[in-house]
Every structure is written in C-alpha cells, then in structure tokens.
Amino acid sequence: MRTTLFAAAFVAVVALAPIGCASAFAGEPIQGATGKYMSPFTTDGTTSGWVTKSMQVRATGQVAGLAGQYAAQKALENVPFVGMFGKQIGEQAGRAVALQSIGGEEFLKSTSDLSFATAQDLADYVKAHHADHPEIGKVMEATYAIYPDVQQAWLMAKRPLAVGQALKATGPAPAAFDYYRISNVKAGQALSVTLECDTMEPTVSLTDAKGRKALGYVQAKKGEKTVTFDATAPADGEYLLMVTPTSRFMGGSPGGGVYTVTVAEKKL
C-alpha cells in the first residue's frame, strides 16, 4: 500500500515538475554579449575569461567578504516578513562582490561571445553541451556567484538523450532529479528504458513533455541496482525522462552515484 501511494504521488510530481521552467528544452545561445546572461563557455568550448577569473579569485580566497554577505542574508531570512527580501538582498550583495572581484560588468561581457535570454536557457544549453567538462562543478559555482538564479535553473536543466543511446552520468546528492529530453520520438514507437547504477536505488519515469502525462514509471526495490520499464509513445514529439538517482528519502541509499541510462527501441 505504501509503495502504491508513493508511486501515485511521484507520478503527480513528475507531471508538475516541468511547469515554471523558462523554456521547454535547451535554449539557443545568442551570438555576442547582448543577452541577459553571459555564457560560462565560449563558442570553441573553453571556459569564458570571466569564469576562469572567478575560479582563480575563489581559489585564492579574495572573495572572503561574500561569507559576511551571505551571513547577513541568512539572518534577514529568519526575520518575519523579511525572509524573501532578505534573500534577494543577500543575493544582490553577493553578486556585487563577485562581479567586482572579476573586474566588473565590462570584463564580464568583453570575455563572452555567447549569451542567453534566460537563466533556464543558459542551464539547459550548458548541461546539453558541457555536462561532462572535468571542472563543471567549479564552473557552475563561479557562474552562480554572478547569476544566483542559475543554480535553481541548473537543477531543472535537461540533457539530450537519443533513442538507442547509452549515457553515463553522475547523479546528484542529496536527493534531486536528473532530467533528459528525448527528441524525434514517433507515435506508436515502443521504448524500453533501462537504468543501471552502482550504489543507488533509483526511481525513473518517462513523461509526455507536452501533455505532462506519465507514460512509464519504476522505483527500485531496496538493494536493486538495475531497473527497466517499457512505454509506448502516443504521439510524435519530445519526451521527458526523469531520474531520481537516490532513494534517501525512502530509507535507501544515502545519495548520489554513477549510473548509465539507456532508452532503446523495443522490437515488437
């Protein structure tokens, strides 16, 4: 009974999760620095100058003042009726310090040749094209310092996954979602979803990205490291695969880990 209730609740979350994203799938970058958000990567795939500078500054501890800004933010968040504004003030103050530490807005734009209209476009694009960068964690931390709202967008960002492709990824910890977009799926196409992992007890679901209808769902049992399910696409289009790479909230594995996800065409 517990599992059934959890499954129903999870499917409801799956159906609602994409709502509120600034863009449905990976946004196209704007050539040049005219967008609101500068890209942490350049057109040739290297880190932008402002990101490199930010990483260097953070490594040398020159932005220690940020700790005080964030401490003030947290204090304000605990004051009744001020919490939301305190968070905004703290983020703005932290961004100002971080921006000053890398040379200001002019340096930020002068070392960028790509930009984005929204935080979600930036996150979707970077996750689609640079998720396997060896220092992606540090790159994104440097990005969050300048654009705090990109951190939430990164959690909702989606990686492209083609039918027939096996993709290896590292799941976040503690419990969070990994999203994948599956394009060019045909109506009536039978799909088989498999997730193999090392230390996790994952939950996986496939959702109609437009209608937000769950087409398939499976939750690993305790100690189970491989899960699979079949689903049939009701229409042409793109679909959303959601992986919960840890079952910590169900008393399972403590979180995170490496997994391989595959969406294959099932031969009837």
Both 182 and 209 in one domain: the answer is yes
The domain boundary residue, chosen from 128, 156, 184: 156
Both 198 and 220 in one domain: the answer is yes
**Domain of 190: which CATH number?**
2.60.120.380
pTM of the predicted model as reported, rounded to 2 decimal places: 0.65
Both 151 and 161 in one domain: the answer is no
Which residue has better confidence, 64 or 154? 154
**Cα dist from 75 to 67, 90, 98, 197, whole Å:** 12, 10, 20, 40
Look at the chain and report how many structural domains it folds into: 2
Both 146 and 177 in one domain: the answer is no
pLDDT (0 to 100) of residue 70: 46
pLDDT (0 to 100) of residue 90: 46
Both 72 and 97 in one domain: the answer is yes
pLDDT (0 to 100) of residue 27: 65
Identify the CA nearest to 267 among candidates 163, 166, 195.
Answer: 163
Both 113 and 189 in one domain: the answer is no
Both 226 and 129 in one domain: the answer is no
**pLDDT tens-place string over residues 175-192:** 567 889 998 999 999 999
* H or E segment and range at residue 215: strand 213-219
Which residue has better confidence, 152 or 89? 152
The domain boundary residue, chosen from 156, 176, 209: 156
The parent domain of residue 191 ranges over: 2-22+157-265
- Provide mean pLDDT across the span 214-227: 87
List strands edge to edge, sheet with 30-31.
30-31, 114-116, 37-38
- Provide mean pLDDT across the span 253-264: 76
Both 66 and 164 in one domain: the answer is no
**Which range has the top average pLDDT, 8-17, 92-101, 159-168?**
159-168
**pLDDT tens-place string over residues 116-163:** 999 999 999 998 888 878 888 889 888 988 898 998 898 888 889 999
Distance CA 150, CA 152 (A): 6
Cβ pair 264, 161 in contact under 8 A: no
Distance CA 9, CA 15 (A): 10
Distance CA 50, CA 121 (A): 19
Both 39 and 140 in one domain: the answer is yes
Both 146 and 190 in one domain: the answer is no
Both 143 and 234 in one domain: the answer is no
The share of the chain scoring above pLDDT 70, in percent, equals 67
Measure the CA dihedral 67/73/76/77, to 10°.
Answer: -120
- Residue 33: pLDDT over 80: yes
